[in-house]
Amino acid sequence: MAKDINKKNFDSATKLKLDLFKESFKEWLPVFIHAPYVEKRFIYDFFAGSGLDPQGNYGSPLILMDEAKGEDLMYCSKSDGKKIVFGFNEKGKRKSKILEKNVNSFVDNCLNNCKREKCVYEHYVGNFDFKDAFNRPNVLDIMTNKKYSKFVLLDQYGFKEVDNEVFHKLINFPKTDFIFFISSSFINRFQNQPAIKRYIETEKIEFKKSQPKHCHKLISQYFKDQIPKNKEYYLHQFSIKKGTNYYGLIFGTSHTLGMEKFLKVCWSKDKMAGEANFDINNDFQSDTLFYDEMFSNKIEQFKTDLFFMVQNKAIKTNIEGLKYTLKYGLQTKTYLETVCDFIDKGEIFISKGKFNKKITNIHRLKENDIYEICIK
């Protein structure tokens, strides 16, 4: 039987995970609220739990609903009642009933404050095994609809639910961003067990050549390798250390703006690497002699790698460099800072087009915003 995390007060690692969910959704929602080409927005939480811990702290479903209101209920006022739909699923019957009660109580309290007779958002609570819920015909119809945007939360217990089949569906659903949780240390520890290999091809992951603290990053790379070479897609991970174990989140999006938003959240939590709640890259820490808040091992390695890519003409334009930066797990401002430094040092030059400092909403860059870079 799966462990029930809602029976105990949320620990610091769980609170961090929930905060990452919250901040990611907070970045996601306004983009699609204001998108005129999106007819409906669907938010799915397939492992919703009961919604509250014993202290009354919000679990993921209530966090999502609370954030969907917006500051001073500004998002509620932009909905006509059918544009945002929440789908919560909890396999455990008892927990599902508690969840439904907690969600209804949340809505009732919200209505008392906003003075509306009916919530402008729709919500549904299901009680299904994950695969049954995920593969329901009405859910698949929504997931494959190009006119709908979807935010999918998969806070699975362990690792086995988001397998290769589910992952490939997720990356091919249009206008769909997702976050899933995975128990990376468990996969590392039992990598040779048939029960693990049934879901994860661990022979493709080089655990033995890496430190345990990198196990979640390796699993993220495993999923990155599942993406077809000709498909533009973005994944980034955030590792969470709890005691001696490592867990983590993996975020996926087909859109550069989605990755810009998620990396903003990650770098607000980890200013050295944007990917962990611990020192994952052996950076000097703030209480040590050689600490420099401007120095990051990850960024230093990026500078070397970017120069190599430009030198070998694998990157020729700023848009290619910006996308490379996102896939590297860095905010696009790092690309600009690096290129400016290379130009100042006379190591590269702009060979075609006009240099500019545009680094956000890169999907909106026009033809005259594109410039080419070369090694001198």
The CA-based diameter of the chain, rounded to the nearest angstrom, is 67
Give the chain as a 3 state SS string.
Answer: CCCCHHHCCCCHHHHHHHHHHHHHHHHHHHHHHCCCCCCEEEEEECCCCCCECCCCCECHHHHHHHHHHCHHHCCHHHCCCCCEEEEEECCCHHHHHHHHHHHHHHHHHHHHHHCCCCCCCEEEEECCCHHHHHCCHHHHHHHCCCCEEEEEEECCCCCCCCCHHHHHHHHHCCCEEEEEEECHHHHHHCCCCHHHHCCCCHHHCCHHHCCHHHHHHHHHHHHHCCCCCCCCCEEEEEEEEECCEEEEEEEEECCHHHHHHHHHHHHHHCCCCCCECCCCCCCCCCCCCCCCCCCCHHHHHHHHHHHHHHHCCCCCEHHHHHHHHHHHCCCHHHHHHHHHHHHHCCCEEEEECCCCCCCCCHHHCCHHHCCEEEEC
Question: Nearest Cα to 17, choosing from 279, 328, 272, 277?
Answer: 277
* pLDDT in the model for residue 157: 87
* pLDDT in the model for residue 113: 84
* pLDDT in the model for residue 20: 97
Note whether 123 and 103 are within 8 A (CB).
yes
Question: Nearest Cα to 184, choosing from 274, 241, 244, 248?
Answer: 248
Count of all residues that appear for the chain in the document = 376
Between the CA of residue 250 and those of 3, 133, 154, 193, 338, what are the distances in Å?
21, 21, 10, 23, 27
Between the CA of residue 221 and those of 216, 257, 265, 328, what are the distances in Å?
9, 21, 20, 11
* Per-residue confidence in pLDDT tens, the chain, 376 aa: 344 555 678 999 999 999 999 999 999 999 998 888 899 999 999 999 999 999 999 999 999 999 999 888 888 876 655 589 999 999 999 999 999 999 999 999 999 888 888 888 999 999 999 999 999 999 999 999 999 999 999 999 889 999 999 999 999 999 999 999 999 999 999 999 998 999 999 999 999 999 999 999 999 999 999 999 999 999 999 999 999 999 999 999 999 999 999 999 999 999 999 999 999 998 766 665 555 666 899 999 999 999 999 999 999 999 999 999 999 999 999 999 999 999 999 999 999 999 999 999 999 999 999 999 999 8
Place of tokens 């005691």: 243
